[in-house]
A and B are shown apart, each in its own frame.
Chain A
Amino acid sequence: MGQSVQEMIAQSKGKKSKKFVEKMIPVLLFLIATVSVLTTIGIMLTLIVETVTFFTRVSFIEFIFGTTWLPFSNLDAQFGILPLIVGTLKITLIAIVVAVPIGISAAIYLSEYATDNVRRVIKPVLEVLAGIPTIVYGFFALTFVTPLLQSIFPEIKIFNAISPGIVVGIMIIPMIASLSEDAMSSVPKSIRDGALAMGSTKFEVAMKITVPAAISGIIASVVLAISRAIGETMIVSLAAGSTPKFDGDFTGSIQTMTAYIVQVSKGDAGYGTTIYYSIYAVGFTLFVFTLVMNILANYVSKRFREEY
Chain B
Amino acid sequence: MRYIEHDIVVKRMNGRNVVNKLFKSIFLLATLSALLALVILLYQIVSQGASHLSIDFLTNFASRFPAEAGIKAALVGSIWLMLVVAPTSIILGVGSAIYLEEYAGKNRITTFIQMNISNLAGVPSVVFGLLGLTIFVRALALGNSILAAGFTMSLLILPVIIVASQEAIRSVPGELRDASYGMGATKWQTIVRIILPAAIPGILTGSILALSRAIGETAPLIVVGVPVIIQFLPEGVMDTFTALPMQIYDWSSRPQQEFQQVAAAGIIVLMSVLLLMNSVAVFIRNKFEKRY
Give me the interface of A with B, judged by CB distance under 8 Å.
Answer: 9, 18, 21-22, 25-26, 28-30, 32-37, 39-40, 42-43, 46-47, 50, 101-103, 105-106, 108-110, 112-113, 122, 125-126, 128-129, 131-140, 142-144, 170, 173-174, 177, 199, 201-204, 206, 224, 227, 230-234, 237-238, 258, 261-262, 265-266, 268, 271, 279-280, 283, 286-287, 290-291, 293-295, 298
Evaluate whether A201 and B16 lie within 8 angstroms (CB atoms) in the complex, with A30-B103, A108-B27 already known.
yes
Which residues of chain B are within 8 angstroms of A134 by Cβ–Cβ distance? 216-219
Interchain CB contact under 8 A, B219 and A258: yes
- Residues of chain A lying within 8 A (CB to CB) of residue B24: 109, 113, 202-203
Chain B: CB-nearest residue to A283? B130
Can you name 29 A-B pairs with beta carbons within 8 Å? A25-B188, A30-B103, A33-B95, A35-B158, A36-B113, A36-B116, A39-B155, A40-B116, A46-B135, A47-B127, A105-B26, A106-B30, A125-B38, A132-B271, A135-B218, A135-B252, A135-B270, A136-B270, A142-B252, A143-B260, A144-B41, A202-B24, A234-B218, A262-B219, A265-B224, A265-B225, A283-B126, A290-B123, A290-B127
| Interfacial residues, chain B to chain A (CB-CB below 8 A) | 13, 16-17, 19-20, 23-24, 26-28, 30-31, 33-35, 37-38, 40-41, 44-45, 48, 91-92, 95-96, 98-100, 103-104, 112-113, 116-120, 122-131, 133-135, 138, 155, 158-159, 162, 184, 186-188, 209, 212-213, 215-219, 222-225, 245, 248-249, 252-253, 260, 263-264, 267, 270-271, 274, 278
Q: Which residues of B contact A170 (CB under 8 A)?
A: 34, 37
Tally of A-B Cβ pairs under 8 angstroms = 249
In the complex with contacts A29-B99, A32-B96, A113-B27, A290-B126 CB distance below 8 A: no
Smallest beta-carbon distance B113→chain A, Å: 6
Are B113 and A33 within 8 A (Cβ)? Answer: yes
Give, as a whole number of angstroms, the nearest-CB distance from A261 to chain B: 5
Q: How many Å lie between the Cα of A47 and that of B124 in the bound state? A: 13
Please name 14 further chain A to chain B contacts, defined as beta carbons within 8 Å, in addition to the given A105-B31, A135-B245, A174-B34, sorted by A numbering: A40-B119, A43-B127, A47-B130, A102-B30, A106-B27, A131-B213, A135-B248, A140-B45, A144-B41, A203-B23, A203-B24, A258-B219, A262-B222, A265-B223
